[in-house]
Amino acid sequence: MDLYAFPPVAAILDAAYSLLMGLAALLEPLAGSAAAAASVIVLTLLVRAALVPAGIAQAKAEQTRSRLAPKLRDLQRRHKKDPERLQRETMKLYSDEKASPFAGCLPMLAQAPIVAIVYALFLHTAIAGHANALLAHELFAVPLGTSLVSAIAAGTASAATLGVFAGVLAVIVVVAEITRRAFRPQIDTTPDAAPLAGAGMARLAGALQFTTAVFALFVPLAAALYLATTVAWTLVQRVVLRRFYPLATT
């Protein structure tokens, strides 16, 4: 069964299709043949702007976690042999501080359905029973429905395809590297530090910054554009919000 053919999902997809087609029509005088690609970028900016309050909540949550870090390390030291007690005390600490260890996850969770919709819009030849005109749009002669991995596997990857994806991936990788350097997690070097607070975990967190680039290899070009715009916005937003909500020094 095709999930995207389910009436409620098809209706959402059709609404997103209409929005993108409308944006493309508005941008065509400025962007020309790249109007549909520009509409994906504009849509991304609109989504990210709507998620600014969630980004602020995430920044506050990071600030709270940094403030509570010494108390959490003390709990880990005192209850490291009693995991159940450690869990209870940790949750009590967050409750007393009116905080949550899961606060600030909304931006990440909210992105998943948006990426899925953009992915579907440039994957299906028909949307809600009508032809998908978005598939006729290109960026520098590369159809927005093209996936780099699929094109290479099928032997249809042209120089334009490789060049456009190289540009998009370069943006994602550069932003990931800047993010990795600018937002390195604090490393707990105390003897009683938990394994997840050490240098190994910091390296893993840094490597995870590049998973978006890997994902972009497999999705349609339109979704890759969405991802590139998202990571760039996220970096700028985090830099700005860190000034307003600095982490506690330890």
pLDDT in tens, 102-116: 665 666 676 678 778
Residue 60 above 80 pLDDT? yes
- 198 pLDDT exceeds 60? no
- pTM for this prediction: 0.82
Percent of the chain with pLDDT strictly greater than 70? 86
For 210, the token pair is 């590049």
Q: CB 218: neighbour CB atoms within 10 A?
A: 13
Minimal CA–CA distance to 170: which of 246, 228, 100? 228
3-state DSSP assignment of residue 210: coil
- Res 86: pLDDT: 85
145-155 mean pLDDT? 95
Query: HSE on the CB side for 120, CA within 13 Å?
Result: 22
Residue 213: what pLDDT? 93
Contact present, 231 and 176 (Cβ < 8 Å): yes
d(CA 162, CA 224): 13
Q: Which of 53, 51, 47 is nearest to 23 (CA)?
A: 47
- Predicted confidence at residue 81, as pLDDT, reads 81
pLDDT at 73 over 60: yes
pLDDT in tens, 77-94: 888 888 888 888 888 888
Place 207 in a pLDDT band, splitting at 50, 70 and 90.
confident
Mean pLDDT estimate for the chain: 84
| Residue 138 β-bridge partners | 143
Q: Any residues with CB less than 8 A from the CB of 104 and at least 6 apart, and which?
A: 54, 57, 58, 59, 60, 61, 62
Instruction: Residue 145: name the closest of 130, 117, 123 by CA.
Output: 123
Question: In terms of DSSP H, where are the helices of the chain?
Answer: 7-31, 35-50, 52-78, 83-96, 106-121, 148-154, 159-182, 199-208, 211-216, 221-244
> How many CA atoms within 13 Å lie on the side-chain side of 153?
7
By CB neighbour count within 10 A (0-12 exposed, 13-18 middle, 19+ buried), where does 183 fall? Answer: middle
